[in-house]
Amino acid sequence: MNNENSIENKSKEDQLDITLLLQQKDEEIRLLKQNIKYRDITLSLYKSLIEGKLGIKLDTNIFDDDITIYSNFKVNYTRGKTKEKNKNNPKAVVEKPFVNTLKKSAKAVKKTQKINVPIDKKPKKPTNKPIIVKKKQQIPKSIQFTKERTDEETQSFIDGINQKISDKSPSKFWLLSKQEHLNNIENLIESLENTRSYSKVLSDIKLHRFHLFKYLNESEYSKHVYSQTEKIKKIFKTRGKDDKQIKALVRHKIIGAYEHRMLFLDEFEKTTIEIDEVELIKKCLDEKFKRKINFEKFSLSTLTDNICNYHLCITDVLSVISSTITNIYGFHNVVYLSFDDNDFAFYTLENITKNSRKWNMDCQLDDISNEVWDKIFNYLTSIFKKIYQKVYHDNQYRSDFIEVSQVMELEGIQILKNLIYLSDKPQFVKDFKNIVKSSNNYVPTEIDSFNLFTNDPLLKVNHKKLNINNIFSDIFDNISPNQIKELRSLIQK
């Protein structure tokens, strides 16, 4: 008897659980159908808007997808009762778990590859309405696709440009490859163990290392500075130099002033940088991107990383962007297509194979210019605060802050100039677009393909100028409007 009651109670509990689960599933289905209904309304509005703006007719099924088809399935969660023998009570009724008929139908579809969807396969043509046909992107007639160069023709083209722009008398360091620089550095470090006059050797090591800016990013370069410095310090330790002497060598002879500042090493604010050192590093960084001899897939994060480094602290914004985004051989991954006197046809290289290059439009260069502006502005604001904090240990404004350290005189002033320029965002975007239009005006070949050739009618560009007073108030603590006015006059001299 007890066993029978136990089984009966268990059966009732199972029934209750199944009933609740069915109710939950019914509510989920109701919400799903409601969402699909709203989605269909939204797509209908977008379809009408696109047709009105572009003057075209879209296929009525252009927005159909798996969700639409899926929504037409009849979903029933059922459960069946069967009498099964039970060892303890043969008369007891045992209920099987509920069966999801949708899953069953999905399996059946998979086997037969046929689905019965309540959609007319051959809808009747509406009377007095035009037949709707999907349109392919029409290539503007003014765009002429040329023949792709062979490898031999490409190399000949590169050699011809190199002859035109090559230095008349390049230094012995300039012509070396990355590996040759690294090998020479290792040999020079080994020679320090025995040489009596080490000043010239340490100077040559720095020069070789500066030239690595042509090949390495800031993070990779920093690793070489640290590893080479440690090797040199060990050699001088073996030669009997004490810690104080070694520290002086590191500051004045082993590591350059620019490297000290870039890495924020101890007492970097006391270093004095020579103009020749600055010009060499600028030249190497400029060479790094302009001399690439192959196409590379575009990456927005890579672009902003290449722009937002210490180079921005000694150079104006537009020069850094120009050297980063242009290529003297035409191997760009951000380009402009000149047709119909347009101001919107900017493209990024999204995919490369041996026989194709696929480009996606960044209409009016809106995505790239906004992201680059944002990253540069935040980087410069942050690094100015970092330098100022390291020098003065606070962010209180000082009217003579430029005179105290050469770091503030060079990097500090350049950073503030760059921030003032960036405050006029409409001008920045215009200048950025002009760089691409003038330097990266692309002539496509037979293997190039572009996803769009039309302007985006829904894109509304409305960049606003920033208040310079707010920028300086964010950088400095307790700076007054009169002090901001004096500082701007000082910077713009």
Q: What is the pLDDT of residues 295-334, one digit of tens each?
A: 999 999 999 999 999 999 999 999 999 999 999 999 999 9
Q: What is the pLDDT of residue 490?
A: 85
Is the residue at 108 inside a domain? Answer: yes
Same domain, 271 and 304: no
Residue 33 Cα distances to 24, 41, 60, 104, 319, angstroms: 14, 12, 20, 20, 55
Q: Among residues 61, 78, 112, which one ends one of the domains?
A: 112
Same domain, 268 and 305: no
The tokens for 267 are 């007492």
Mean of the pLDDT values across residues 85-98? 48
Nearby residues of 4 by Cβ (< 8 Å), 6 or more positions away: 88, 89, 92
Q: What is the pLDDT of residue 117?
A: 46
Q: What is the pLDDT of residues 174-201, one digit of tens each?
A: 989 999 999 999 999 999 998 888 999 9
Burial of residue 470 (number of CB atoms within 10 Å: 0-12, 13-18, 19+)? exposed
User: Considering the chain, what is the average pLDDT of its residues?
Assistant: 83
Question: 9 pLDDT band (50/70/90 cuts)?
Answer: low
Burial of residue 189 (number of CB atoms within 10 Å: 0-12, 13-18, 19+)? middle
Instruction: Return the percentage of the chain with pLDDT > 90, whole number.
Output: 56
Same domain, 255 and 332: no
Compute the distance between CA of residue 131 and CA of residue 137 in angstroms, rounded to an integer.
19
Q: Among residues 96, 112, 128, which one ends one of the domains?
A: 112
Is the residue at 205 inside a domain? Answer: yes
Q: What is the pLDDT of residue 81?
A: 43
Q: What is the pLDDT of residue 20?
A: 74
Is the residue at 24 inside a domain? Answer: yes
Is the residue at 272 inside a domain? Answer: yes
Same domain, 254 and 301: no
Is the residue at 161 inside a domain? Answer: no
The β-bridge partners of 360 are 348
Is the residue at 360 inside a domain? Answer: yes
The torsion angle over the Cα atoms of residues 343, 349, 353 and 355, rounded to 10 degrees, is 10
Compute the distance between CA of residue 43 and CA of residue 62 in angstroms, rounded to an integer.
10
Compute the distance between CA of residue 353 and CA of residue 330 in angstroms, rounded to an integer.
17
Give me the domain span that covers residue 257: 173-277
Same domain, 35 and 91: yes
Same domain, 345 and 249: no
Same domain, 299 and 363: yes
Same domain, 259 and 296: no
Question: Domain count of the chain?
Answer: 3
Is the residue at 446 inside a domain? Answer: yes
Mean of the pLDDT values across residues 441-460? 92
Same domain, 105 and 234: no
pLDDT at residue 400 above 50?
Answer: yes
User: pTM surpassing 0.75?
Assistant: no
Same domain, 87 and 234: no
What are residue 137's phi and psi, to 5 degrees?
-65, 125
Out of 20-34, 212-226, 258-272, 472-486, least confident range: 20-34
Is the residue at 117 inside a domain? Answer: no
Q: What is the pLDDT of residues 249-299, one digit of tens each?
A: 999 999 999 999 999 999 899 899 888 999 999 899 888 888 889 999 999
Question: 14 pLDDT band (50/70/90 cuts)?
Answer: low
Nearby residues of 70 by Cβ (< 8 Å), 6 or more positions away: none
The β-bridge partners of 449 are 358
Mean of the pLDDT values across residues 107-114? 46
Same domain, 267 and 302: no
pLDDT at residue 145 above 90?
Answer: yes
Q: What is the pLDDT of residue 129?
A: 52
Q: Among residues 74, 97, 112, which one ends one of the domains?
A: 112
Compute the distance between CA of residue 152 and CA of residue 451 in angstroms, rounded to an integer.
30
Farthest-apart Cα atoms in the chain, separation: 109
- CB contact at 8 A, 209 and 224: yes
Same domain, 370 and 475: yes
